[in-house]
Amino acid sequence: MTAAVGRVRHVHRLLDANGPFASLYFDDSHDAPDATSRLEVTCADIVRDLESLGAEAMLTSVVSAAILSARPRVRHGGRGLIATVDGVLVDEDLVVPPPRRQVRVSELPYVVPLVEHASAVRTYVVAAIDHVGADIGVHRGDSVHCETVEGPGFPVHENNAGIHGWGDNGHRVQEAIRKNVRAVADALTEIVDRHDPEVVFLIGQDRVRAQLASMLPERVRARVVRPRVGARHTGVDQVVRQAIDLELGRRLVAATDEVAERFLRDARRGSGGAVEGLAAVCKALRENAVSALLLGDLADATVHGADAATLLATDVDELAAFGEPVTRTLRADEALPFAALAGGADLVPVGPDLLMLDGVAALLRYEPLAG
C-alpha cells in the first residue's frame, strides 16, 4: 500500500482537542478578479451555516477570522478547515475543490474530505533550473523552504558563432554550464536525502533539465517529474501550479486504486487480511487491527461509542465486554475515521465502483480475534 494515502497532518491536535468541532470544506479558488469579494461572501454563508447548526459565537468568530486572514494566492483548489473555540486545528489546501460546500458542527471532527480532496504526496520538491543555477523549494503541507543555487561556471553565453559550441568560446561555455548543472545536481541530491520528498518536479529549459537528470543518482532520478511548462525566471506560477496539482491528483487516484485492488484480492481469497461492514470494521478498530480504512458512502449511519475513541460498536452489548458504558451515538463517517486516526491507520476514500458492505471496509495489520 502506498503509505502517503490518507494521512492527516497534525493528527495529535485533533486527538487532543475537545469538541464541539466546526468542520468545513469549500472552494477557495483565487483565479478571478473578484476572488476577494467572493471569499467574503463565502465566509458570510459559512457563518450563517454554523449558526444554524448551533455553533456558539466564539466558534464562528474563530472560523471567520481564519477564513479571511489567509493570504490569497492565485490558484484553483479548495480549503479544509477544522476548529474549536480554542482555535484552528487544521487549515489545509485541497488539490481539488469540493463539489459543494460542506459545513458541520459535531462532537468529533469530520476529516473525510481532507483526504478525499487532498494530495497523496505530503512532501515534494520543485527545482526551477537554468544554465546558471536553480531555485529549489521544499513543499511540506502549507510550508515552503527555499534555497538558491548559483553554479561557479562562467561564461554561460556563447558568441555569435552559434549555440552549439562551434565558436572560440563554445567549449568554455559548455563546460561552464556543465559545472553549474553539476552544482545544482549535488545540492538537489543533498536536499532530497535530507527531506525525503515523494516527488521532485524539474522546471526550466529542456536541455538543461535533461542534463541535470542525467547527473542525479538513481534514488533521486526515480522521483523526477518534468512538467512541460515553466521556467526559472517565472518560478511556480499559476500554470506550473496547475501542472503540479494535476500530477498530485493523478498520484492520489493511483494510490487509492492500489489500496482498493488489495482489498479486492484479500476479500476474494478470504485470507483474513480484510473485513467489510460496520460491525466487522468496528470490531477491528477496537482491536487496533486496522492498517487502512476504506470509506465509501456511509450515508447517515450511526454507531455507538464509549469515551475512548476506538471503542465503537453497532450493538451496545458489544461494548459491555470492555466494561465501558455507551456514552454517545455518533455519525459513522466521523467516528470511524477518527478511531482509525487514533489507531495510526490510513484513511482511503473510494468511489462508488468499489462495492463494500455498509459502505466501509478495512485492510488489517493482523486477523482480528475470533468471536
All three cell numbers of 62: 474563530
Least Cα distance to 331 among 81, 104, 22 occurs for 104
Asked if the bond preceding 152 is cis, omega within 30° of 0, the reply is: no
Q: Which DSSP string do the residues of 32-87 spell out, in sequence order?
A: STTHHHHHHHHHHHHHHHHHHTT--HHHHHHHHHHHHHSPP-S---EEEEEEETTE
The pLDDT, as a whole number, for residue 3 is 38
Helix (H, G, I), strand (E, B) or coil at 150: strand
Which pLDDT value is given to residue 1?
Answer: 36
Closest CA to 188 of 249, 141, 127, 238: 127
Look over the chain and give the mean of its residue pLDDT values, rounded to a whole number: 87
Q: Cell match 483526504: residue?
A: 115
**Averaged pLDDT, 194-208:** 93
d(CA 257, CA 260): 5
φ and ψ of 362, to 5 deg: -150, 140
Question: Which CATH number does the domain 270-364 belong to among 3.40.50.720, 3.40.720.10, 3.90.180.10, 3.30.1330.30?
Answer: 3.30.1330.30
Report whether CATH 1.10.3470 matches the domain 11-116.
no
- 242-245-251-257 Cα dihedral, nearest 10 degrees: -100
3-state secondary structure of 361: strand
| Alpha carbon distance 295, 273 (integer Å) | 17
The H helix count followed by the E strand count for the chain is 11, 16
Q: 29 falls in which pLDDT band (50, 70, 90)?
A: confident
Q: What is the pLDDT of residues 326-371, one digit of tens each?
A: 889 999 999 999 999 999 998 998 888 888 999 999 999 876 565 5
Query: In which band, very low, low, confident or very high, does the pLDDT at 271 lie, cut at 50, 70 and 90?
Result: confident
Query: In the predicted model, is pLDDT for residue 36 greater than 70?
Result: yes
Q: Look up residue 308 and give its three cell numbers.
A: 475512548
For 113-126, write each residue's pLDDT tens digit: 988 876 656 789 99
Give the model's pLDDT for residue 283. Answer: 94
**226-259 pLDDT per residue, tens:** 999 999 999 888 899 889 988 887 887 888 888 8
pLDDT of residue 292: 92
What are the angstrom distances between the C-alpha of 56 and each of 25, 102, 111, 163?
A: 19, 18, 21, 68
Tell whether the model's pLDDT for residue 51 goes beyond 80. Answer: yes
Q: Which of 14-18, 67-71, 144-148, 181-185 has the lowest mean pLDDT?
A: 67-71
Contact 295, 365 (CB under 8 A): no
CATH, range 123-250:
3.30.420.60
Query: Which long-range contacts does 307-313 make (Cβ < 8 Å, 24+ apart)?
Result: 309/15, 309/338, 309/339, 309/342, 310/285, 310/286, 310/339, 310/342, 310/343, 311/286, 312/282, 312/285, 312/286, 312/336, 312/339, 313/279, 313/282, 313/283, 313/286
Is 215 a residue whose pLDDT tops 90? yes
What is the predicted pLDDT for the residue at 72?
59
Q: Which of 133-137, 139-143, 238-242, 280-284 has the lowest mean pLDDT?
A: 139-143
**What span, in angstroms and rounded, lies between the C-alpha atoms of 120 and 139?**
13
Lowest-confidence region among 19-23, 245-249, 322-326: 322-326
**Tens digit of pLDDT for each residue in 274-302?**
999 999 999 999 999 999 999 999 999 99
CA-closest candidate to residue 311, choices 290, 277, 339: 339
- Domain map (residue ranges) of the chain: 11-116, 123-250, 270-364
User: Between the ranges 113-127, 134-148, 295-309, where is the mean pLDDT highest?
Assistant: 295-309
Q: Which residue has the cell 518534468?
A: 226
Q: What is the DSSP pairing of strand 199-204 with strand 224-225?
A: parallel
Global confidence as pTM? 0.75
